[in-house]
Amino acid sequence: MTNKQIYIRLIGHSRPYLWRIVLSIIFSLIVAGTDVSYIYLIEPLVDKIIAGDNHGLVYLVPVVIIGLAVLKGAGRYFQEYYIKTAGQLVIQDLRNKLFNKFMHLSMGFHVNQSSGGLTSKVLNDVGVMQKAAASALVDGIRESFTLVGLMSLAFYKDWRLASVAFMVLPVCVVPATVLGRKIKTNIKHSLKSVGFLTGTLQESFDGIKVIKAFGREEDQTRKFKVENKDYYRFLRKAIKYNSLTAPAVEILAALGSGGVVWYGVNRVLSGDMTQGQLFSVVAAIMMLFTPVKRLTRVSNIIQQSIGAAEGVFVLLDKPCDVVDKQDAVEMSRARGEVVFENVTFSYGDEPILTDFSLHANPGEVIALVGPSGAGKSTAAGLIARFYDPQQGSVKIDGYDIRDVSMDSLKNNLAFVDQETFLFNGSVRDNIRYGMLDADDQSIIDAARQAYADDFITKLPQGYDTSIGDRGVRLSGGQRQRLCVARALLKDAPILILDEATSALDTESEAMVQKALTNLMKNRTTLVIAHRLSTIMHADRILVLDQGRVVEDGNHRELLAQDGLYRNLYDMQFKDV
């Protein structure tokens, strides 16, 4: 994607706020007009009042100056207000679109990304674009009009003097262009570095308990310092090139100004022009280089913005690999028949599932067991269309889930995961997350069935108690029971339990298991477990190894086969 394409696309995002930009342009013309008026009035001030000894006009001078200042001040206020608010609204839209994109990209995308890197894209990369949208647009529009106005005045007053200055102006573009490219490159590198920095911050705060438990505070601090230094290194280069631009333009401007003054003085001495004309033209040309210098600074900011925008647009353009078909079917409440037909799936070159088949009848409990990495959780993710298989199909009630809408599919599924993720909010809001329109009584009923109501009512504000980030103020068993309550409230016909009790102590596991028993009633349930004690009563147990089903049967049948299931069972119960 070229710089021109990126910038045109940035401008394209401003169309909804075109009226604000138009108003800003109008007020920019007023600001530029007042600057030109100041210069235009120098000639009559010198020739008619000072040299012409017309003292009666002296009293009008402060009135004109104050009037122009008031007009310029009002114009500048409205110009900045409208263009900056337009810029902020454009950036707000981009940030919303980027976040929305992240929410709709599949789990295949997210497993290959760090949450810190994605956070940095939304905040830091778009933040750099925000600077360009606000200050660059403000200065760029205003200074462009001022430059055109002053150039027009200079040529109107004396085209020969103006031509001397104009010969220098195109040369001023050279340092801005060369240094701008270097700024863009280093800004891209610095934003990548700040992504790593953000990731380390987030990881450190999330894992502070582990860091302190193992005494790794100094190691983590050293890691942060290294990444912080990398960020500074790239940013320092961008600052260096940005700082070089102004002196380069200043020197070129001095050459032009020097030539104008030398040529103009000689023409006054020869009687070819008046002193007032000279002062007016020289003032216009001197002021001409001020917007040039400011525009080079604007160019640098735009290069920074393009460096950030390139990465943002690449992500916005990334196709979603798991989406609704155009003619997607709205599936009503499912009976609960789940079928995998010869499914093969891989995250990369190595397959996770190979020729995997499964048939669960409505209300049946199917357990998946096997060594770590056998593909159990991947199978659960395929039901929810976190990913789509490369071969084969997953069906619910005879529908290929790729043919039904995502919303209707998710309405038929409920999850209880080993991670027990809870949001930083109230107990009530976390239980209601799966059904936002649920009333308070339904929430309480779900909590009671999950054996959570007793501990909830003992919390300081009961159901309105804030549970902290990731539910940190609750125990593992309490968090898991809230997740069960959340699934119960949703009342979906298909339930997926992914290691739902793996991280709990014996007492908590017993309580959660009772809650899960209530949850599994009259639902097709897919249970993923390492602890075989939790799945012995399943209707069928599928044993996976290296992505393939190697054994299939109930608990007693599998023990009698004396295969992998028997080995797993003996390892877990050899000391019992």
Q: What share of the chain is helix, strand, coil (3-state, %, to 5)?
A: 65, 10, 25
- Give the chain's length: 576
The amino acid present at 11, given as its one-letter code, is I
The answer, yes or no, to whether residue 93 has pLDDT greater than 70, is: yes
Residue 20 C-alpha from the chain's centroid: 26
- The mean of the pLDDT values for the chain is 78
Beta carbons of 452 and 444 less than 8 angstroms apart: no
How far apart, in Å, are the Cα atoms of 507 and each of 26, 305, 474, 510?
72, 56, 15, 5
Looking at residue 488, what is its pLDDT?
A: 83
Distance CA 252, CA 248 (A): 6
pLDDT above 80 (res 292): no
Q: How far is CA 158 from the centre of its chain?
A: 53
Q: Which residue has the higher pLDDT, 551 or 421?
A: 551
| Average pLDDT of the segment spanning 464-484 | 77
User: Is the Cα torsion angle 167, 170, 174, 180 positive or negative in sign?
Assistant: positive
Quick: pLDDT tens for 124-181.
777 777 666 555 666 677 777 777 777 777 777 777 777 776 666 666 666 666 766 7
d(CA 510, CA 553): 25
Q: Who has greater pLDDT, 450 or 513?
A: 450
pLDDT digits (tens, 9 = 90+) for 324-365: 888 888 989 889 899 999 999 887 777 888 898 889 899 888
Question: Which pLDDT score is estimated for 113?
Answer: 75
pLDDT at 251: 72
pLDDT at 503: 53
For the chain, domains (ranges, CATH) are 3-316 (1.20.1560.10), 322-411+528-576 (3.40.50.300)
Q: What is the largest CA-CA distance in the chain?
A: 120
Tens-digit pLDDT profile for residues 516-575:
777 778 889 888 877 777 788 888 988 888 888 888 888 888 888 888 888 887 887 765
Q: Is the pLDDT of residue 30 over 70?
A: yes
Q: Is the pTM of this model over 0.95?
A: no
* pLDDT tens profile 190-245: 777 777 777 777 777 766 766 766 677 788 788 888 888 887 887 787 777 777 76
